Structure 1
Amino acid sequence: MSRNSYEHDIPVTADVEAESWAAALTPRLAQFAAVARHEHVTRAAQEMGVPQSTLSRAMVRLEEDLGVALFARRGRTVALTPAGRTFLHSVERALAEVDRAAESVRADADPAAGLVSFGFLHTLGTETVPGLIRSFRVDHPRVRFQLVQNYGEAMLERMRAGGLDLCLTSPVPDAPDLVARRLDEQRLRLVVPDDHRLAGRRRVRLAEAASELFVTLEPGYGLRRITDALCAEAGFTPRIAFEGEEAETLRGLVAAGLGVALLPPPAVPRPGVAELTVTAPRAVREIGVAWLDGHPDTPPVAAFKKFLLSRRGQLLT
């Protein structure tokens, strides 16, 4: 093609719509950058390992699609036009961003130093999860964790949206899009103020608290659903004095005399309360790990999943 042919407007290819520019142009962007860098089609073709004729046709098609002359031909060499120079700056930024994205996902999938996005309940954050990560890192010291602490339903929705690889939750979910495995169970205690009528007892039937005000987690929290179910099994509907978002806040409100609560054991004993074993009904919550069904695991996620499953019955010890 002669130099003079670039002195006229290049028609825009009719089948390239504005919304499809990325799909139409992306395969040729790296080729364009190579030609621009070498200012020579033959050398660019050699670098990319493609025939010179293929590369030449790709550049002509690129210009036709854009409707803009990107190169001025001078014998065997080419030079960028002002439009080509402007286009090159954006192309180089786009290619650099693709490189960064590729390096990021490759790094996250690295078996030795990749990333695990892991969610867990607030009540497991003081001792259980730090202990799990510490034990896992004995054999995988460079694996990185992105941690999310939340209530069960929020974590499951985040996992469905692609924001988590695995989560520890309770109750163990039963949903067609998830795989869940029970890992352990945790006994719940009736927590009462230390001057309460039941405080001198070590064991209690839950029905004995039927007349009490309860402080509980908000609806939607797994522990709230378990509390409601256990009270129903004991023959009453709890009267709610306060609904919160964090178990230790509830324990503090019990100490202040606001009510009683069904809670898992604390990480450290809290003054001002008595914690009673519930003999009937059986007051436990199951802890499980969940992940998306059919979702492929990176090597670090697969390793951590295997580690968690190996801790069945020992998660809370």
Structure 2
Amino acid sequence: MDDALTTNITWLAPRVALLDALAEESNLTRAAALAGVPQPTASRWLNEMGARLGTPVVHRAGRGIRLSPAGQQLAESGRRAANELRLGYRAALAEADPEQGHVSLAFLHTMGGVRVPELLAGFRAAHPGVRFTLVQGASEEIVQRLRDGETDLVLTSPLPADDPGLETRALAKQRLVAVVPAGHPLAARKRVRLAKLAEWEFVSLKTGFGLRRIIDGLLADAGCTPRISFEGEEADTLRGMVAARLGVAILPESEPLPNPGTVEISLEPPAFREIGLVWSADRPLLPAVRTFRDYATESR
């Protein structure tokens, strides 16, 4: 914006309220009182505005005073700006209210079926006025959204480590299981070792997903190099691939029941992924965000 225009707008802002009052009262004494300024100051402001604009903002009408066309334009613009400012102020007050604010929560696709809905339902029962924006994505993607200030909280796994810009809080451990098609040679087993599971082709999440990193680490520790036939972005898609006999998978235990056409087998030794909340260490949390964080961490 031009510097001279910015200066004029800054100068005009408190004076436009006087024009708005004149539009209502048509009397300088009463309008000055409404605007909260002495009458001599109000008279000076009107003269100064006319001089800056090069055209009067008021004209006499008998014993009263009326706005000129230029004054009416300014008063109407000021009224619209005041209404917007009023709405913004109310919205800002709502954000500062732990019972009326807004929370932006990002989470993994694998948590959208049961875990997140149950968490939100419990919280909203106690805090019905809080609004939410929900975002799903891969672990690296949603953590980057947090770093960029696009979301308030992230529910993810694994938790980012050694990042001084992030705060983390572990909430729960989720059991990982082998998922095989119904009728598969391993389907009757109660437990299976990774080395045995790796004899079959795998379907897996794409690189960049937190669960993929966990699974790759488990297989590497077991000395296994699986043959991956398909890669996807959602656990439900992978379960469908398993049911279609396109491979086996390692996934979080289904909530509440395994998909039709699949069987879930415990891993030997047992394997888990840690789920937790992440938030910025550099930005203060708004009251509603802090209330939800505390609820999530206390109800784990």
TM bucket (normalised to shorter chain) is: 0.7 to 0.9
Does 1:82 find its partner at 2:69? yes
**Structure 2 residue aligned with 1:196:** 184
3-state SS in 1 of match to 2:164 = coil
Match of 2:98, SS state, is coil
The superposition leaves residues 272-315 of structure 1 with CA deviations (integer Å, 9 ceiling, x where unpaired) of 222122224x5221111111224333332222111111123xxx
Deviation at 1:69, TM superposition (A): 3.8
Alignment correspondent of 1:251: 239
- How far apart in 2 are the matches of 1:65 and 1:241? 74
Q: Within 1, Cα distance between the matches of 2:197 and 2:169?
A: 33
- The alpha-carbon deviation at position 134 of structure 1 amounts to 2.4
Contact 2:123 2:292 (C-alpha < 8 Å) held by counterparts: yes
Match of 2:81 in 1: 94
Q: What is the letter of the counterpart of residue 208 of structure 1?
A: K
> How many angstroms does 1:61 deviate by?
5.0
How far apart are the structure 2 equivalents of 1:21 and 1:257?
72
Query: CA separation in 1, counterparts of 2:251 and 2:208?
Result: 16
Specify every segment of 5 or more residues in structure 1 that has no aligned partner in the other structure, as ranges.
1-14, 313-317
What is the CA-CA distance between 1:263 and the residue it aligns to?
Answer: 0.6
Match of 1:240 in 2: 228
- The Cα of 1:57 is off from its aligned counterpart by 4.5
Aligned to 1:300: 288
For 1:269, the aligned partner's letter is P
d(CA) in 2 for partners of 1:58, 1:160:
48
Cα deviation digits, residues 167-196 of structure 1 (max 9, x gap): 211111233322111111111111112232
| Match in the other structure for 1:113 | 100
CA contact (8 A) 2:154 2:279 kept: yes
Select which of 107, 114, 119 maps to 1:127.
114
| SS at structure 2 position matched to 1:183 | strand
Call closer, same or farther: CA 1:160–1:258 in 2, change over 3 Å. Answer: same
Tell me whether 75-84 or 186-195 shows the greater mean CA deviation: 75-84
Under a length normalisation based on structure 1, what TM-score does the superposition of the two structures give? Answer: 0.81
CA contact 1:193–1:254 (8 Å) conserved in 2: yes
Correspondent of 1:187 among 172, 175, 181: 175
**Structure 2 length normalisation: TM-score?**
0.85
Deviation at 1:265, TM superposition (A): 1.2
Q: Superposition RMSD on alpha carbons, in Å?
A: 2.8
Consecutive unaligned residues in structure 2, runs of 5 or more: none
Note the alpha carbon deviations across 1:90-128, whole angstroms, 9 max, x for none: 322222122122222323433333332222222222221
Q: In the alignment, residue 311 of structure 1 is paired with which amino acid?
A: S
C-alpha separation between the residues in 1 aligned to 2:206 and 2:64? 71
The structure-2 alpha-carbon separation of the partners of 1:148 and 1:22, relative to structure 1 and needing over 3 Å to count, comes to farther
Q: Which deviates the most, 125-134 or 22-31?
A: 22-31
For the residue of structure 2 that corresponds to 1:17, the secondary structure is helix
Offset from partner CA, 1:211-266 (integer Å, 9 cap, x none): 43221222222112222222222223333222212101101101111111111111
Moved over 6 A (4+): none
User: Which residue of 46, 53, 68 maps to 2:33?
Assistant: 46
Amino acid at match of 1:234: A
Q: 2:17 touches 2:75 (CA, 8 Å); kept in 1?
A: no
Would you say how many aligned residue pairs link Structure 1 and Structure 2?
297
State the Cα distance separating 1:68 from its structure 2 match: 5.0
1:270 aligned onto 2:256: no
Matching residue's letter, 2:268: T
Identity of aligned residues (%): 47
Q: 1:219 to 1:84 in 2, by over 3 A?
A: farther
Q: Helix, strand or coil: the match of 1:208?
A: helix
CA distance in 2 between counterparts of 1:30 and 1:38 reads 12
